[in-house]
Amino acid sequence: MAFRQQNSTATTPVSKMMRGLGEVSLGKTPGSAGRNTKFSKTPTGAFNNRRPLGRRELTPSRSNANAAQRFDGDRMIPSRCASQLELASFLHSQSLANETMNTSKSAPTSPSKEELEKRKFMKMMRVKSSSDLGGAEDQDRILVFRKNNAPLPPVGHMNTKVLFTTCVQPSSTVKKSSRQIPSMADRILDAPNLVDDYYTELIDWGEGGLLAAALGSELYLWNPDSGDISVLIDQDSAEDMITAAKWSNEGRFLAVGGESGVIRLFDPSKGKELRKLTAPRLCRATCMAWKDHMLSIGYKSGQVVSHDVRIKESVVGVLEGHSQPVCGVHWSPDGAQFATGGSDNLVHVWDSSRVTARGQTPTYVLNDHTASVKAVQFSNFKRGLLATGGGTTDPTVKLWDTMTGALTKTIKVDSQVTAIRFNKDYKEMIVGLGRTANTLKIFKHPNYQEIANIAGHTDRVLGLSMSPCGQYVMSASADETLRLWHLFKVDKSTQRLQHHRSKLSTLEAMR
C-alpha cells in the first residue's frame, strides 16, 4: 500500500502554514525599524532572505556608544488569552492526517458531513458564560458553571435516585428516625395473691420461653406465644408460701423456694418434681441465681448456700458475709464473679473460687449504700460492670467496677429500687421503682442519662424479668398485675445479622 501522491505546486495546508510563517518573518522587528530589507525569490517561488551580515547583526561590542540606536522603538507583546492554540494544533494535525495519511481509494468525505462533524465538535468545546444560559439548549449546559444556581433537571426527573445511588454510607448522611418507647403495656395479666413483700423474687422468664409466676402458694407457667397458662404447683401440692422462683440457664429446670427454706427442683416439661435441696440452717429463701449446674440461694439468715444439683450431697459452698437477710444475688455472665446484696446495706463481690468453699471473705465489700440492697445485676454487655439499687432511705442506683471495686457513678431515682435489668442490644439499663414512684426508668449507657420514665402500675414494682429475645420486659407489682412491655424492639435484619455472627464465632471456637 503506497501513500497518495501530492502535487508540490498545489496549495496545501502545509504550504499555507509555511507561507504564513514566511509572512510573519517579513514583519519588522524592533531592531530593523527604519531599515529596508530586500528579498529574492528562488526558482521554486520561495523567498530567499539570505544576505551578508550587516553591522546590526555583528556581535555587539562592549561599548555603549550605539545603545540608543539598538533600543529604538517599542516591543509588541501579543495577547493570546482568547487564542485556542491547542485546539488549532489538533484541528491542523487532523487536517494533515486526512490529506496525507488517507490510504483508501474511496471518495473523500462529503462536505456536508465534514461540516456536521465540525459543528458537533465546536459545540462540545464551546464555553458559555452564565449570561448565555437563557437560550442555550440542554446539551450546551455541559460543564457550565453558574454561581449558586445549578441547572434545573428535566421535568419528571427522579431526584431521589441520586441519594440512593451515590451515598456510600447512608447511615452517616441520612438522619436516623427517633426511637419510640411505648408508654403503655402490650398486655396486662391479673395476678391475684401476688405477695407484696420486699424479700421475694416472684417472676422469672426462662430461655425456653415460659414465664414462671408465683402467686401465694401456687406457681403458674405462662406461654406468651400461645397465651396458654398451666399450673405447676397448685393448692394440693403446695407446701408453703412461695418466695422465690428461678429457671436454670438453659431453661430446662425450675427451682422454687418457700418460707420453709426447702428448695424444690422441677422439670416443667414433664410436670414432675426432681428433688429437694436443704440448707444447713433452714429459713426463708429470698433469692436465687444459677451458674450452669450450680444453684446459689440467698436466705433470710444472711447465708448464701450453693448447691451442685447433680450430686446427692449437693451443698458445695456456704458464704456468711452478711449479718442480715440476703436480698439479692447474681452471677456475672462469664461466671467469674458473684455479687450479693443484703439488708445490712452492703454489697459483696466474690470470685467464683471463693463461692465453693467455707469461711471465705469477699473479694470486695461495697459499703456506699445507706439502705437495704435488693437489686443486684451484672451488665451483659460490659465486663466488670455491676449495678446495685438502694432501699427507701437510699433511692439511688450505683455503678461499680468489679475489677477494682471502685464506685464509678451514682444515679438518683427518688424512690426505692426493687429491680435492675440490662439490655444488650440497646446497651441500656431498666430500673423498677417502689413507692411512691411505681414506675420503670430506662437509662442509656455510657453516661446513663434517663431516656424514659414509664408509668402504669398503681403500686410499687416488686420485680422485673427480661424475655429470652431481650425485647420484652415483664414487671410484677403490688397492684396484683403483671405487665408486658415491648421496650427494646430490634430490627429483624439486624437480629439476623447478629445471629449469623454468633454462629460464625461458635464455629470458629469449635475449630
pLDDT tens by residue, 247-286:
999 999 999 999 999 999 999 999 999 999 998 888 999 9
Q: Are 401 and 379 in contact (CB under 8 A)?
A: no
Domain 187-507, architecture per CATH: 7 Propeller (2.130)
Query: Any idea which of 40-54, 336-350, 416-430 has the lowest mean pLDDT?
Result: 40-54
Summarize the confidence of residues 494-501 as an average pLDDT.
Answer: 56
Is pLDDT at 75 greater than 90 in this prediction?
A: no
Quote the CA–CA distance of 58 and 380 in Å, as a whole number.
98
User: What is the pLDDT, as a whole number, of residue 199?
Assistant: 95
User: What is the pLDDT, as a whole number, of residue 176?
Assistant: 52
Is pLDDT at 7 greater than 50 in this prediction?
A: no
Quote the CA–CA distance of 167 and 165 in Å, as a whole number.
6
pLDDT digits over 389-409, tens only?
999 999 999 999 999 999 999
User: What is the pLDDT, as a whole number, of residue 120?
Assistant: 64
Is pLDDT at 226 greater than 70 in this prediction?
A: yes
Is pLDDT at 160 greater than 80 in this prediction?
A: no
Which residue ranges make up each domain of the chain?
A: 187-507
Query: Any idea which of 72-76, 137-141, 352-356, 394-398 has the lowest mean pLDDT?
Result: 137-141
pTM: 0.65
Radius of gyration of the chain from its Cα atoms, rounded to whole angstroms? 46
In order of 294, 335, 466, the CA distances from 207 in angstroms are 17, 17, 10
Summarize the confidence of residues 133-158 as an average pLDDT.
Answer: 52
Helical H segments across 167-265, by residue range: 170-173
User: What is the pLDDT, as a whole number, of residue 97?
Assistant: 59
User: What is the pLDDT, as a whole number, of residue 202?
Assistant: 97
- Identity of the highest mean pLDDT range in 9-13, 26-30, 366-370: 366-370
DSSP designation for 113: H
Is pLDDT at 94 greater than 80 in this prediction?
A: no
Is pLDDT at 52 greater than 80 in this prediction?
A: no
User: What is the pLDDT, as a whole number, of residue 118?
Assistant: 72
Is pLDDT at 379 greater than 60 in this prediction?
A: yes
Q: Among candidates 381, 326, 39, which has minimal Cα distance to 200?
A: 326
Is pLDDT at 315 greater than 60 in this prediction?
A: yes
Amino acid at 317: G
Mean confidence (pLDDT) of the chain: 79
3-state secondary structure 21-88: HHHHHHCCCHHHCCCCCCCEECCCCCEECCCCCCHHHCCCCCCCCCHHHHCCCCCCCCCCCCCCHHHH
User: What is the pLDDT, as a whole number, of residue 308?
Assistant: 97
Q: Is 371 exposed, middle or buried (0-12, 13-18, 19+ CB in 10 A)?
A: middle
Helical H segments across 126-181, by residue range: 160-166, 170-173
Is pLDDT larger for residue 130 or for residue 466?
Answer: 466
Query: Any idea which of 120-129, 202-211, 260-269, 418-427 has the lowest mean pLDDT?
Result: 120-129
Quote the CA–CA distance of 374 and 432 in Å, as a whole number.
11
User: What is the pLDDT, as a whole number, of residue 141?
Assistant: 47
User: What is the pLDDT, as a whole number, of residue 498?
Assistant: 60
Strand order across the 285-291 sheet: 285-291, 294-299, 304-308, 315-319
Summarize the confidence of residues 86-91 as an average pLDDT.
Answer: 72
Assign 37 a pLDDT band (cuts: 50, 70, 90). Answer: very low
In this structure, the strands spanning 218-222 and 229-233 are: antiparallel
Is pLDDT at 464 greater than 80 in this prediction?
A: yes
Quote the CA–CA distance of 475 and 477 in Å, as a whole number.
7
3-state secondary structure 407-455: EEEEEECCCCEEEEEEECCCCEEEEEECCCCCCEEEEECCCCEEEEEEC
User: What is the pLDDT, as a whole number, of residue 112?
Assistant: 66
Summarize the confidence of residues 219-235 as an average pLDDT.
Answer: 93
User: What is the pLDDT, as a whole number, of residue 469?
Assistant: 94
User: What is the pLDDT, as a whole number, of residue 178?
Assistant: 72
In this structure, the strands spanning 428-433 and 347-351 are: unpaired
User: What is the pLDDT, as a whole number, of residue 208?
Assistant: 94
